[in-house]
Amino acid sequence: ADFVEGAVLGAVGVAGAQTRILVAGTRGEQAARNLTELGLNVSFYSPEIGKASMFKMLRSIFSKGLECLILELLIAGRRAGIGEDLWKDITSFMAKKSFDQIADNWVRTHAIAYERRYHEMHQVVETMLEIGVEPIMSNATRLFFQRSVSLHFDDQFPAQPDSSDEVVNALEVGIRTTLP
């Protein structure tokens, strides 16, 4: 049977027909052309069924995770009486460089700064509890850094790597070997 899968990558209620949609399947290219001609924002992603949906699910790690992280920051900031100052600082920081540059730097420096960041996040979790905010996202971040500490990257990364791929590869291999 010929069929395609589609993954909607945005809020249709906000963007309407311009909401980005990925399609996959052996007839995906034709479906994308046909739907684009009808005014939809459709892109062919893969001939393999499941790839567009996988893209959507894994992309949600970023979009929904960042949403919750920002909300946790704003709740804690408001509770501490510095919410507006934090918002201005974060938005100013994010506007100074492209997200690509910022994210690449965070990933590459993870290889050499994970232990310091783990200890800082431990303090963040304690601080949030002290001000009466449940540190769900902050604790998850602390746990991620704790896992990096357990993987002992010191020998593998005596200095900051040139490529973020090196860090992702090391984490992926380390995680694979620690899972049951």
pLDDT at residue 179 tops 80: no
Q: How far apart are CA 142 and CA 131, in angstroms?
A: 18
Neighbour-count burial for 63-75, b at 16+ CB within 10 Å, e otherwise: eeeeeeeeebbeb
Q: What is the pLDDT of residue 155?
A: 86
Please give the average per-residue pLDDT across 7-11, as a whole number. Answer: 94
**Residue 6 host element (H or E):** strand 5-8
The CA distance from 11 to 74, in Å, is: 23
Annotated domain spans of the chain: 5-54, 97-178
pTM for the whole structure:
0.88
Is residue 56 within 8 Å of 77, Cβ to Cβ?
Answer: no
Taking domain 97-178, whether its CATH number is 3.40.190.10 is answered by no
What is residue 30's predicted lDDT score, i.e. its pLDDT?
A: 97
Distance of CA 96 to the CA centre of its chain: 20
pLDDT tier for residue 2 given thresholds of 50, 70 and 90: confident
